[in-house]
Amino acid sequence: MIGATLLTLLAATTAGTPAEHLAPPVGRNIEVAFVLSEGAVMIDFAGPWEVFQDAMPAAGTTASQMPFELYTVAPSRAPLHTSGGNRKGMTVVPDFTFEDAPRPDVVVVGAQTGGAGLAAWLKKVHAEQALILSVCTGVFRVAETGLLDGKAATTYHMALQRFANQYPGVKVRGSVRYVQADPLIVTAGGLSSGIDAALHVVELYFGRATAQATADDMEYQGQGWKTNAGAGEQREVPPTIPLVYRDQTTHWRGVFRPAYPQQQPQLTVVLNLAQAGDHYLATLDVPESQLLGQPVTVQVAPAGKISFQVDSDQGPLTFSGKRNGDVISGSIVGGGKSTPLRLLKQPNSS
């Protein structure tokens, strides 16, 4: 009992804004919109979908039978594909667009590419008192709206540092299943943590007994929706380059050709470099790949020598070169291949 109590107290201190009970609408079901776009990760929306679909009223509670009404919404009604590894995933035809979707009470945003109109729609429905639930890197789509500025949030454990770097105004939390950013925003960690966050929302509406009955009906034995305890020690994740050094950060831009010596495809690469005392901090942006704020390990030696390493889907990539005035030149080595890279210091950088 003591251990469980400590877990509960620890979760409460790291969960952001204290949760408030939600009042279900009178005379109708709770409308839950699932945002989809190309590449939407299956479990991120399928896990919460199952929770809300199976929400099971407990004896003696006010919950009606099957109190949630579910639908999908996307930029258009054109068929799209969910995640599918090396192949296109399941084909889904969205029920509604952002223009004609019913007014939601809850919106679920899993990991996905996003789409035109999503940010404006999320701001609109949040202003209309809809609860927004992000799962995994779906939090990036929510953060784009500015709704998380100054608030606490979490995401997939492999994206925590990148999220903190891209959105330094957000208080990023690690090793939790979900964070209650404010009474109407919940952000979940990766993948299966969306199930815990959805059960948390069921509890906000109908209490713990109904959430437990739902979990039992699903034969779900995870306890994260109660304890909010993730793997490892709960922590706050600061940006790789702290805000105090942002004005001193220089930005170096170049073009990387992964199929070198072929000229195409070309990827813009930006190295963000800041000196912090006797060492350097750095992040990397690759805008075409929607990769912003990727943390890199950098070393700057006397005589202008510079090296950094960044992880990629194909394994680690290591750059070695030299900084001479406003130019950094060298080569990236990875996968048994060496590719030249030249970065130019951008104007208006200190």
Q: Is 257 a member of any domain?
A: yes
Total-model pTM: 0.89
Whether residue 44 contacts residue 206, with contact meaning beta carbons closer than 8 Å, is answered with no
In a shared domain, residues 304 and 333 = yes
In a shared domain, residues 274 and 225 = no
In a shared domain, residues 334 and 196 = no
Q: Is 277 a member of any domain?
A: yes
Quickly count: other Cβ atoms within 10 Å of residue 301's Cβ: 10
Specify the number of domains making up the chain: 2
Last residue of a domain, one of 237, 262, 291: 237
Whether residue 106 contacts residue 133, with contact meaning beta carbons closer than 8 Å, is answered with yes
CATH number at residue 158: 3.40.50.880
**Spatial distance between the Cα atoms of 309 and 330, rounded to a whole number of angstroms:** 13
Q: Is 208 a member of any domain?
A: yes
Token pair, residue 180, equals 């209650």
User: What is the model's pLDDT at position 336?
Assistant: 85
Q: Is 79 a member of any domain?
A: yes
Q: Please, is 313 exposed, middle or buried when counting C-beta atoms within 10 Å of its C-beta (0-12, 13-18, 19+)?
A: exposed
User: What is the model's pLDDT at position 140?
Assistant: 97
**Spatial distance between the Cα atoms of 281 and 240, rounded to a whole number of angstroms:** 7
User: What is the model's pLDDT at position 62?
Assistant: 64
**Spatial distance between the Cα atoms of 291 and 346, rounded to a whole number of angstroms:** 19
In a shared domain, residues 157 and 176 = yes
Range of the domain at 285: 243-345
Q: Is 350 a member of any domain?
A: no
Tokens 């009970």 locate to 21
Half-sphere exposure of 27 (CA within 13 A, CB side): 0
* Model pLDDT for residues 106-153, shown as the tens digit of each residue: 999 999 999 999 999 999 999 999 999 999 999 999 999 999 999 999
In a shared domain, residues 296 and 227 = no
In a shared domain, residues 128 and 8 = yes
In a shared domain, residues 221 and 267 = no
Q: Is 102 a member of any domain?
A: yes
In a shared domain, residues 227 and 258 = no
At 216, the amino acid letter reads D
User: What is the model's pLDDT at position 11?
Assistant: 45
Last residue of a domain, one of 208, 237, 266: 237
Between the alpha carbon of residue 167 and those of residues 74, 160, 172, the distances in Å are 25, 11, 9
Between the alpha carbon of residue 293 and those of residues 249, 273, 290, 298, 320, the distances in Å are 13, 11, 10, 14, 20
Sites in the chain below the pLDDT cut of 50 = 1-14, 350
Whether residue 291 contacts residue 269, with contact meaning beta carbons closer than 8 Å, is answered with no
Q: Is 193 a member of any domain?
A: yes
**Spatial distance between the Cα atoms of 308 and 298, rounded to a whole number of angstroms:** 4
SS3 content of the chain, % helix, strand, coil (to 5): 25, 35, 40
Q: Is 99 a member of any domain?
A: yes
Name the nearest CA neighbour of 282 among 318, 241, 242: 241
In a shared domain, residues 264 and 208 = no
CATH number at residue 297: 2.40.128.120
**Spatial distance between the Cα atoms of 83 and 230, rounded to a whole number of angstroms:** 25
**Spatial distance between the Cα atoms of 163 and 187, rounded to a whole number of angstroms:** 13
In a shared domain, residues 297 and 324 = yes
In a shared domain, residues 70 and 212 = yes
Last residue of a domain, one of 209, 237, 265: 237
In a shared domain, residues 194 and 84 = yes
